[in-house]
Structure 1
Amino acid sequence: MEMLKNILNEIWLVTVEMAPYLLFGFLMAGILSQLISRDFVKRHLGGNRLMGSIKAALVGVPMPICSCGVIPFAALLRKHGASRGATASFLASTPQTGVDSLLVTYALLGWFFSVFRALAAFLSGILCGIAVEAVPASGNDKQEEEEKTEAAEQRNHILLRMLKYGFITLPGKIAQAMLIGIIISGVISGIIPDNFFADRLGHSPFAMILMLFIGIPLYVCSSASVPIALAFIKAGLSPGAALVFLITGPATNAATLTTLWQIIGKKELTVFLITLSLCALAAGFIINFFSPALGIEEQVCHMHESNSPLNMVWTILLLAVLIKSLLPSRSGKT
């Protein structure tokens, strides 16, 4: 019973901490969904120059699209003339972050972690694009994939479309993963004592390599990965190891790797994975270097319970949005 109480308490703490930021993130995602159109993205990702990869990463970082959702989008970009490099850059940077996940990162892990995560997504996207573009085109490099169409509801006011995407469509895509991530975080924090891994793995390079092998095949969205990373740090793993998980977990998973093979090619996929892994490890080493001076671990491990009535309101609203997204729609549409 004591362990169950600890787990439920940790779940509640994480939810309260992230609620206002995730709700604001949903709002910003809804606004971006109307300001950044697919036509705009496609128009700027053609050609084989470095600028294509930079633009793709720049557009991809704030977009709230997960590692599965980015596949049809990237396939569509490739089909409409985006270069292999720009496509790879978009595929690497987009699932790692989004306005919603960056705000959750700020809430749970602090401003430095949030800014550094966005920078890591941006730079790793560019480097993946450059690396893929440097590889001679594969014979099985295809520019076709299923094209998902969305009903354009142009008759609705733009504000209604923003709110619908931000608080109905997007939560519908990530609610299950988000709730699972929060529960996993609570289970890890409730069962494993604080600093349990500090003397076993801690800041060793092996911890980052372990997170690499866990993150690559695992499916977890960028927002849902944050509470899990928080639990890893509280259990004694280094911030660098947690960052490796935050980069590789959302960016890849076993189900999408075979599809990526078809979109950018076999050799390109190998180069993509190697480059992304090296970027994740490099980012992990860098944040571990700055962690003692910035007190990242101390800040994360001293998260306290908030009894503010306003925070309770945000938490109830967030749970209502997520749970509503899991219920079947009467119209059969998301």
Structure 2
Amino acid sequence: MWESIQLVLSNFWATLTQMSPYLLFGFLVAGIMSVFVSSATVERHLGSKGFWSILKASLFGVPMPLCSCGVIPVSMSLYKNGASKGATVSFLISTPQTGLDNIFIVYSLLGPIFAIFSPIVAMLSGLFGGTVVSLFDRHERHSSQLVSGSEEKQAKKANPVFKALRYALFVLPADIGKAMLVGLVIAAVISILVPDDFFSTYLAFGGGILAMILMMLIGIPMYVCSAASVPIAAALIAKGLNPGAAMVFLM
């Protein structure tokens, strides 16, 4: 029993130390982005109907460090401030799948191929969802609600360096820290409970289609933020899971 606990702690620490430099750098970049990319700027670019606003919404959403819960109030704010339904849905789909911090974590644990393709898949899925909604949405929007001048003045008064560091070192870690720890613990437990090559032995049917379906069924109801899902995916791949199925889980 004690030996198993030591093994879990060892795997937990090994994964944490491997991803920490990339995670900290991602936090820093996200903090800088929180200063220079305001919500007012985002809302101003997503107000028009059509493909271009949907594409921009998906591209804006990919680097945003928001989880599936955190993205909902932001999306509602975008919609209330004039963003089209298509752009709102595009942002809602693409944002929680990845983020700047998540991209660096993916690179550290899963390599450059996953780091390149995970944001591309997130962007394309958001683009597809937003386009479908836009095609079927025939209702006209009411006039958008503008951000008040007093709010903009208050935002400008804040020290940009302090604001970036506060977001990078306190706000963002507080948002995803608990979920990250849960993800690391799950990954460490998987590493000792699941036999090596388990997935390649039992779920290799149809070139991994069965594994992809299983990962989709597991991933949809599972509340794990994008950053926390990465160590879990890495542990599953180490146990023989098809990389394509791991990508399905990450999405």
TM-score where L is the length of structure 1: 0.68
> Residue 91 of structure 1 aligns with which residue?
92
**Are residues 196 and 78 of structure 1, via their aligned partners in 2, closer, same or farther at CA, if it must alter by over 3 Å?**
same
Letter in 2 for 1:220: V
- In 2, are the aligned partners of 1:7 and 1:191 still within 8 Å (CA)? no
> Residue 45 of structure 2 aligns with which residue?
44
Letter in 2 for 1:63: M
Match of 2:167 among 165, 168, 174: 165
User: Within the alignment, does 1:237 sit opposite 2:234 as a pair?
Assistant: no
Give CA-to-partner distance per residue, 1:28-59, whole Å, 9 cap, x none: 01001111100011001112210011000111
- Structure (1/2) with the larger helix percentage: 2
> Residue 127 of structure 2 aligns with which residue?
126
> Residue 328 of structure 1 aligns with which residue?
none
> Residue 309 of structure 1 aligns with which residue?
none
Higher alpha-carbon deviation: 100-109 or 156-165: 156-165
> Residue 188 of structure 1 aligns with which residue?
190
Letter in 1 for 2:245: A
SS in 2 for 1:5: helix
Task: Name stretches of at least 5 consecutive residues in structure 2 with no aligned partner.
Answer: 144-150
Give CA-to-partner distance per residue, 1:215-267, whole Å, 9 cap, x none: 112211111110011111112111111111111xxxxxxxxxxxxxxxxxxxx
SS in 2 for 1:223: helix
Counterpart CA distance in 1 for 2:123 and 2:142 is: 25
- In 2, are the aligned partners of 1:27 and 1:163 still within 8 Å (CA)? yes
Give CA-to-partner distance per residue, 1:131-160, whole Å, 9 cap, x none: 11122458xx999xxxxx9xx565442111
User: Within the alignment, does 1:18 sit opposite 2:19 as a pair?
Assistant: yes
Shift in Å, 1:193:
2.5
Counterpart CA distance in 2 for 1:131 and 1:216 is: 20
> Residue 178 of structure 1 aligns with which residue?
180
Shift in Å, 1:3:
2.1
Match of 1:217 among 218, 221, 233: 221
RMSD of the TM alignment (CA)? 2.3
- In 1, are the aligned partners of 2:199 and 2:242 still within 8 Å (CA)? no
> Residue 4 of structure 2 aligns with which residue?
3
- In 2, are the aligned partners of 1:27 and 1:162 still within 8 Å (CA)? yes
Shift in Å, 1:2:
2.8
Shift in Å, 1:194:
2.3
- In 2, are the aligned partners of 1:11 and 1:186 still within 8 Å (CA)? yes
**Are residues 136 and 54 of structure 1, via their aligned partners in 2, closer, same or farther at CA, if it must alter by over 3 Å?**
closer
Letter in 1 for 2:172: L
- In 2, are the aligned partners of 1:4 and 1:190 still within 8 Å (CA)? no
> Residue 102 of structure 2 aligns with which residue?
101
Task: Name stretches of at least 5 consecutive residues in structure 1 with no aligned partner.
Answer: 144-148, 248-334
SS in 1 for 2:226: coil
Counterpart CA distance in 1 for 2:198 and 2:225 is: 26
Counterpart CA distance in 2 for 1:22 and 1:190 is: 25
